[in-house]
Amino acid sequence: MRVVIAFGMEKVEFKNYSQYLLKAKTASNKNHFFNACALAALFVFIYLAYAYSFYMGSVYVEKQFWNHGRDRPYSGGDAIGVFFAMIIGLFSISMVNNQFKATVEAKVAAKLIFEVIKRTPPIELDDPRAEKHTLKGEVEFKGVSFYYPSRPDTKVLSDFNAVFEKGKTTALVGPSGSGKSSIVQLVERFYSPEEGKVLIDGKDLSSLNLNHYRN
C-alpha cells in the first residue's frame, strides 16, 4: 500500500503503510497496558493506606503511645486525622499522572515542530546556486506527468506536451479538473512535475532562481 502525506508543498511517502500501522498499534497497546497497571497500583496503595492507617491508629490508641506534638497520648481523633492526611496525599500523588501525560504530549508536539523547522523543502525559493534568468516568454512542457501530493491516486497530467510560444495567446480549454490550473501552477513552480520538464525559454525551470523568476 502506498500512502503519501502532504506537508504544505512537500510530500512524505510511506511505502509500507501496514508496518507503521502495526508500530502504532503496538505502541498504543503498550501505553494502555501501563496506564491500566498504574491505575491498579494506585487503588492498591489507597486500600493498603486504609488498612495501615486504621491498624496503626488502633495500636497507638490502645497502647497509649505518647503524642509529643500535643503532649498527651494518641486519641481516635489523631488516628482519623492521620488517615485523612494519607488519603489526601495519595490522591494528590495520583494527579501527577496527568502532568506526565501532558509532558509526553508536549515532547511529541515539540518533535514534530522541530522536524518541520529542520525539514529542507524540495522547492527552494532563493537558492544562491540557481541561475538568474531574464524572461523572454516561451514556455514548453515536455512529457510532464503530475499529481497533487494530497491526491496521489488522481493523476492530473499524464505525459503532457505543449509549447506556449512567445508573443502569442494560447487558451487552455477543458472541463473542471482537467488540469488547466495545474499547468499554471507548474509554470509558477508552486509544484514540481513527477516526470518530464517545464522549460522556460529552453531552460529547465527547476534550474532557475525561483525568487528572481517570479519577480
30 pLDDT band, cuts 50/70/90, is confident
Q: With respect to residue 24, please indicate whether it lies within any of the assigned structural domains.
A: yes
The domain that holds 186 is classified in CATH as 3.40.50.300
- The pLDDT value recorded for residue 161 is 92
- Asked if pLDDT for residue 141 goes beyond 90, the answer is yes
Per the structure, how many domains does the chain have? Answer: 2
| Pair 15, 114 in one domain | yes
Is pLDDT at 19 greater than 80 in this prediction?
A: no
User: What does 167-210 look like in DSSP terms, one character per residue?
Assistant: T--------TTSSHHHHHHHHTTSS--SEEEEEETTEEGGGB-H
**pTM of this structure:** 0.48
Domain that holds residue 77: 3-118
Q: How far apart are CA 4 and CA 11, in angstroms?
A: 6
Q: Please, are residues 119 and 198 in contact by the beta-carbon 8 Å criterion?
A: no
Can you give the pLDDT at residue 11?
A: 46
Instruction: Tell me, yes or no, whether 177 and 81 share the same domain.
Output: no
